[in-house]
Amino acid sequence: MSLTSSEENYIKAIFQLQVKDGMVSTNEVAAVLQTSAASVTDMLKKLKTKKLLVYEKYKGFKLNGEGRKLALMVLRKHRLWETFLVKILHFNWDEVHEVAEQLEHIQSQQLIDHLDDFLGNPAFDPHGDPIPDATGKMPFQSQMNLNKFPFQINGEVTAVGSQSPDILSLLEHKKITIGARIKVLQRFAFDNSFEIQINNKEQAHISAQLAEQIYVKKL
């Protein structure tokens, strides 16, 4: 089964939405892919005839086994390329997304296998997201959202929920990087914002909205 770039983009988006929501809606996908709802419907019909998702008109949809497997392969390619760009070509981690979006559509199993080996079969990408292996298996990570992280416990930043440059530049400004030490000092009930300490030095004030994008694991 081979996919066009566009099909790969849709499948990846649907996969990431259904991990959270279970069932996915047309508008959600349109929002993620910055396209119209009508275009999404068109693609859904196409993916249904390719037997990659379960879909009934007006009822929502989700990928089936084959669709999920293909989505994981797209995710694998994307994250391996991001790792390559940051680790090998010394891109900053907030510069890689757009390029990886292009590279992930290169069609060559051999290329991905060799790249994976060259990089040392990494389990996580530079944003801390898990990289599926060649069989589609995701490495487990005991990470949780910063909003749910307990007080006064040492944690390590493992991932960032969004790749948007706006968020990444804000995190950089606050010196919050993958691997940084983090401790929640105080929570303000008024707006669910936090005061946190980073790397046992700097303190920073984090809005609930930003905290939602930060994933942490206990140390």
Q: Is 199 in the site for DNA (CB under 7 A)?
A: no
Residue 52 CB, nearest distance to DNA (Å)? 13
Candidates 14, 15, 26, 184; binder of DNA (CB under 7 A) is 26
Q: Is 192 in the site for DNA (CB under 7 A)?
A: no
Nearer to a copy of itself, 92 or 154 (CB): 92
Candidates 40, 52, 70, 115; binder of a copy of itself (CB under 8 A) is 115
3-state secondary structure the chain: CCCCHHHHHHHHHHHHHHHHHCCECHHHHHHHHCCCHHHHHHHHHHHHHCCCEEECCCCCEEECHHHHHHHHHHHHHHHHHHHHHHHHCCCCCCCCHHHHHHHCCCCCHHHHHHHHHHCCCCCECCCCCECCCCCCCCCCCCCEEHHHCCECCCEEEEEECCCCHHHHHHHHHCCCCCCCEEEEEEEECCCCEEEEEECCCEEEEECHHHHCCEEEEEC
Provide the binding-site residues for DNA, judged by CB under 7 A: 4-7, 9, 25-28, 35-46, 55, 57-60
Provide the binding-site residues for a copy of itself, judged by CB under 8 A: 85, 88-91, 95, 98-99, 102-103, 106-108, 110-111, 114-115, 118
